[in-house]
Structure 1
Amino acid sequence: MAPKRKKLFESTPAVKKSKTAITSRAAIPSVADLNFSSDSKTENGDMWNFKVASWNVNGIRAWAEKNGHSYIPAENPDIICLQETKCDEKNIPENVKINGYNMFWNSADKGGYSGTAIYSKVEPIKVTKGLGIKKHDNEGRVITAEFEKFYFVTTYVPNSGQGLVRLDYRVSEWDVDFHDYLVGLEREKPVILCGDLNVSYLDIDIANPKSNQKSAGFTKEERESFGKLLNKSFVDSFRHLYPTKTGMYSYWSYMGNARSKNVGWRLDYCMVSSSLKPAICDSVMRKDVMGSDHCPVVLFLHL
């Protein structure tokens, strides 16, 4: 049974499970058959009362056609963020506008590319799109929602690309400015950061580390840059709880039956300011949820 929520985020009841399979143009397992319940607690024994989720949907229109949006009421998070929406706000499909959520979109200037979204049960105090730096803000990669006790940030970090053509921009410009932005927020309130960070930090975060040393998302430069964020007092919630767990990924290529073989990468993260580390109850990957080449990642907190 889900714990009673605090007033800051009073959740609607979780959707009852149904035996009826969801049908779609691309047949996928029904979320109605999956169990999203949790009795997780903090190290001090406090039951979770707040849940956030993050999912790179790899195109929100295609995701909707696969009934990916049915996951949101089934998981019933207080906040969920999406990456790679690839859609202007005016063209967002009606069926992804979920009742009970305030929705915020940041689209790229270039159509069909990048983009982020936040769904929140409680209306934020303020929502900011981008970093406030022109060279970074035309691809819809960041949304910040301010709440009473914390900032919630979602991001879709730039991929270094084929041939690592954007590696220098990624680590020397984007990462530097984004990390500084997070540190600036943290001076005011704790930060919850969720999204596709486009890096597998440890060897155990990728199925084939030896053959991917020069692949985007696993270069020495990207991993070292991510390490700098950890050194700025941000906590990778999953590795905080499961420092040696293997075979846990959030992305699988569509090629070579990678997902069925679990040949994947852990690219998606739920991170928190170190001051929120005692609030962490659990951090999970919903690998059985289909609809994208990524799966949702979920963080349970006691706030």
Structure 2
Amino acid sequence: MRILSFNVNGIRAVEKRGFVDWIRQESPDVLCLQETKAHPDQLSSELNKPVDKDGKAYFSYWASAQKKGYSGVAIYSRIEPRDIKPLGVPEFDAEGRVLQADFKDFVLISAYFPNSQDAGARLGYKLDFCAAMLECCNKLVSAGRHLVLCGDYNIAHTPIDLARPKENEGNAGYLPEERAWMDTFIAAGYVDTFRSFHPGETGCYSWWSYRMSARERNVGWRLDYHCVDKAFMPKVSASIIRPDVQGSDHCPVQIELKLK
């Protein structure tokens, strides 16, 4: 099972850059999207129901922000989940930040973590979201479920997860409080799958500023993750970053599962 997660930074914008054709060519089993910035009724039929390489339509699910043109997540799946729901916390569901898809072997969560913004203007909201996310994960594990939490965490966890850590100390996404939450999350029994397969590897980023030719120079941040509960890690056969995919200031991240 191949699962991709992609912050598209506006699904209508990325549609103009060949997104629908890319889905057809790529044909992942599941594609989780963040920062869709749209409601389904604003989208083309091709975005509401994209098709895979065999011409079969994906099941599509949306959690949109009340504010038009803001935030939002979606899941396209070739496999119909047993259940689909938001986080269940009104202050975060109002911004369309989470979708949970219940599959037979695990629960897949597509999440768009808030940006703490300049001078930590939304740091409190961000940390509240992080706490709610951890509580959600812990409840699933306590109930005997495995989980994959994917999406844009808006956090570079360690110095090797961004090109210029010293210069970015005190900046949103690399604040001590955000990094400390990642420590707490990992210590609670969750695994950053990319780091499990690529420990210590540098220059691996999933977001680049549009300014100063940052992507061309690979001056980036690793903000997008697939994390799983520790007991599910043996089912993970690969976790990679896909900088070859253009269209957004982020690139997709990919995980592969062996479920049989």
Q: Is the 8 A contact 1:285 1:296 kept in 2?
A: yes
| Alignment of structure 1 residues 83-94 onto 2, 5 Å | 83-94=34-45
| Alignment of structure 1 residues 149-298 onto 2, 5 Å | 149-171=105-127, 173-188=128-143, 189-298=145-254
For these two proteins, the number of residue pairs brought into alignment is 252
CA-CA distance at 1:163 after TM superposition: 2.0
Matched, 1:95 2:52: no
Which residue in 2 is equivalent to 1:120? 77
List gaps (5 residues or longer) in structure 1. Answer: 1-49
Larger deviation: 110-119 or 176-185?
Answer: 176-185
Match of 2:33 among 41, 60, 82: 82
Matched position secondary structure for 1:300: strand
- The aligned amino acid for 1:98 is P
| Alignment of structure 1 residues 11-26 onto 2, 5 Å | none
Matched position secondary structure for 1:185: helix
- CA deviation vs aligned residue, 1:84-137 (integer Å, no higher than 9, x gap): 0000111122222212310000000000000000011111111002x2222222
Q: 2: CA distance between counterparts of 1:149 and 1:127?
A: 15
Which residue in 1 is equivalent to 2:8? 57
Q: Is the 8 A contact 1:118 1:143 kept in 2?
A: yes
Q: Is the 8 A contact 1:64 1:93 kept in 2?
A: no
CA-CA distance at 1:266 after TM superposition: 0.2
Matched position secondary structure for 1:117: strand
- CA deviation vs aligned residue, 1:48-102 (integer Å, no higher than 9, x gap): xx11000000000000011123222222211110000000111122222212310
List gaps (5 residues or longer) in structure 2. Answer: 52-56
Q: 2: CA distance between counterparts of 1:238 and 1:93?
A: 34
Matched position secondary structure for 2:110: strand
RMSD: 1.0
Matched position secondary structure for 1:127: strand
Matched position secondary structure for 1:256: coil
- The aligned amino acid for 1:68 is F
CA-CA distance at 1:139 after TM superposition: 0.2
CA-CA distance at 1:300 after TM superposition: 1.1
TM-score (normalised: structure 1): 0.81
Q: 1: CA distance between counterparts of 2:158 and 2:117?
A: 20
Bigger radius of gyration: 1
Q: 2: CA distance between counterparts of 1:208 and 1:165?
A: 22
Matched position secondary structure for 2:61: strand
Q: Is the 8 A contact 1:64 1:95 kept in 2?
A: no
Q: 2: CA distance between counterparts of 1:138 and 1:90?
A: 17
Q: Is the 8 A contact 1:143 1:154 kept in 2?
A: yes
Larger deviation: 62-71 or 286-295?
Answer: 62-71
CA-CA distance at 1:150 after TM superposition: 0.8
TM-score (normalised: structure 2): 0.94
Q: 2: CA distance between counterparts of 1:67 and 1:162?
A: 32
- The aligned amino acid for 1:207 is A
Q: 2: CA distance between counterparts of 1:291 and 1:180?
A: 33
Matched position secondary structure for 1:212: coil
- The aligned amino acid for 1:103 is S
CA-CA distance at 1:169 after TM superposition: 2.1
- CA deviation vs aligned residue, 1:221-270 (integer Å, no higher than 9, x gap): 10001111111111111000111100000000000000000000000001
